[in-house]
Amino acid sequence: MNRLVSCALLVTTVVATRAAEAGDWRMYELYQPKVERHFVVNAASSPLLYNHDSSVAWFRDRWFCLWNANTAPAESKPGQLNYMATSPDGKTWTKPVPVFASAACSENPIPCPKGTQWQPNLIVAGGELWAIWSQNSRDGYKGCYLSRLRSPDGKWENTRLLWNGSPEPLIGGVHWRVFPTQNPCRLRSGRVLAPVTISGSRAKDAPADLPNWWAQEKRDSVIYTDDLGKTWHCSPGAIIPGKSWAQWEPTVWEAADGTVLMVARNNDFRAADAGGASPATMLTHSESKDKGATWSPHRFVPLETVASRMHVIGLDGDRKVMVHNDFPAGKFVQDRRNLALFFTRGKGVDFVAGPGITGHEPVVAYPQFWRRGDELLVSYSQANLPRSIKVARISPLPKPDRHYLFPRSREFPPARPERRGDAWRFMGSQSAQSITPLALDEGVVTVSAKLRSVAMGCLVDTRTVGQRSGLVVGLNASGGAVKPFAFLNSPEHNLIPDLRLNRVGWNVLSVRIDRTQGIVQFDLNGKMAEMLFTKEDLPPFSGRAMVGRPFAESSR
């Protein structure tokens, strides 16, 4: 903290001295808002294991949070529906319920027995709460929807949007699928713009080895209405020149001069040395001089960052705020850490990273947020699978008539795990290792632990890097289930029994390895399983031990 304040004072002195030469002083304040985080749905205790693509809005007397979710621990599987929860204060939330496919929440529910519902985005317009979302299904319900809620206790009215009778607008002789991505924006003229990515057939400039969906021509665009949703138009949108397939998830806002600006992600997933995006080319931007009807070609935002969904809104004055990941590691979708507030320094897309809002949470992504008074409420996805939805409450907001220093925070979790009572908590790459090698019984070894976990981890690893040695007892996370495993350098590789850790509460695990018989016995919460392994030609089990993460590359 002392280093941060000292740095701020140094910058203030330099700026103030230069301003003083002109007979004026400029004073800067250090922006350090209060951040609270709360679960909307916790996948560790909810039947919903996959939760993603959330949006949040204040309507009349309560907060609404909508997102797509599924009890199946995977994306884009049948059963994926849009869900809703509400809250009076952003802290405590109601139980999630299906919103557009349920007669309990919708006047005209949209059946989705075998398809998937996606990415609800919210705006209050004409005294109603609107949601713009889409359904992908092989029936007459496929398409983009406008859903309206007239009162917080009422039911949603769902309307499938059509262009000349088709759910796919015709642009340039091509029919385009419309996929809403981020919250709509209402211009000062009254026009409502809903950001979308439109998809066509395989792009002519797509590399030959790109898989089908990735190779489709895509344009970052908007659908827009001037009559409160009665009539909708679709813009031709914008692309990265030479990469008509690499567009995804735009957000839009209006500048003080009436220009509409767009920021989107570069969806070229290839490695940078193979022609893909680098941290400096992860985000693109365009502008519209005709209220969203047409757009300039994409250029790259001058910012080293991450390829993931972001969201931008305006604050008082002409300051804009973006919530996005500030962790430019250069690994496509593997660097979704540290959601942060980015602020503009002037006009356009001159964003700089400021305070982080998610602490040491290991995987965070897809924020959208809503301003209410002097507070922002940010909803976001947390963890891989199982995946939860959380909100961050941020206050106060920067004042329009003041100058600020926005301290950038990209803190890594400390290497040492945290002790909580009689237990140790391991996050990310945190680990502990023995000072001296463990002398294990080379006949029978038992590893026991009392633990809570929703992710993979290492209970003990006695291998030596670069050598065939030791053993690993750990946790394997796949398909939303966490199971114990043992790796003994045998031909069977990982031995994974069909035993699942409880996602709620403590688990008691014992793994007994009998190399004289070639048997591993797993005991998890009183449930037993045995697995056989080839006992011949195994290296010694003894060695220096690591807990929390493995010494070497994961044994897959």
Q: Looking at residue 286, what is its pLDDT?
A: 99
Evaluate whether 501 touches 453 at the Cβ level (below 8 Å): yes
Q: Which CB contacts under 8 angstroms, 24+ apart, belong to 497-500?
A: 497/522, 497/524, 497/529, 497/531, 498/529, 499/524, 499/527, 499/529, 500/524
pTM of the model: 0.86
Task: Measure the CA angle with vertex 258, ends 257 and 259; round to 5°.
Answer: 95
CB within 8 Å of 465: residues ≥ 6 apart: 551, 552
What per-residue confidence (pLDDT) applies to 489?
Answer: 94
Nearest C-alpha neighbor of 313 from the set 403, 376, 407: 376
pLDDT tens for 334-353 read 789 999 999 998 889 999 99
Query: What pLDDT does 4 receive?
Result: 39
**Which pLDDT does position 204 carry in this prediction?**
97
pLDDT of residue 195: 99
Environment class of 66 (CB within 10 Å of its CB; exposed 0-12, middle 13-18, buried 19+): buried
Q: Is the domain defined by 418-548 classed in CATH 3.90.1200.10?
A: no
177: helix, coil or strand?
A: strand
List b or e across 32-63, with b for residues whose CB sees 16 or more CB atoms inside 10 angstroms: ebebebbbbbbbbebebbbbbbbbbbbbeeeb
Token digits of residue 488: 């003994």
Residues of the chain with pLDDT below 70 are: 1-23, 411-413, 428, 454, 550-556
How far apart CA 429 and CA 457 sit, in angstroms, is 9
- In sequence order, what are the beta bridge partners of 37? 392
Measured distance CA(100)–CA(95) in Å, rounded = 16
CA distance 28 to 343: 15
The full set of domain ranges for the chain reads 1-27, 31-405, 418-548
- Residue 448 pLDDT: 95
Say which amino acid occupies 154. Answer: G
- CATH pick for 31-405 out of 1.20.1740.10, 3.40.50.300, 2.120.10.10, 2.160.20.10: 2.120.10.10
Is the distance from CB of 416 to CB of 531 less than 8 angstroms?
no
- The DSSP H or E segment spanning 2 is helix 2-21
Q: What is the pLDDT of residue 413?
A: 65
What is the rounded distance in angstroms from the CA atom of residue 110 to the CA atom of residue 219? 27
508, 525 contact by CB (below 8 A): yes
For residue 15 the two structure tokens come to 């700026």
In tens, the pLDDT along 24-42 reads 788 999 999 999 999 999 9
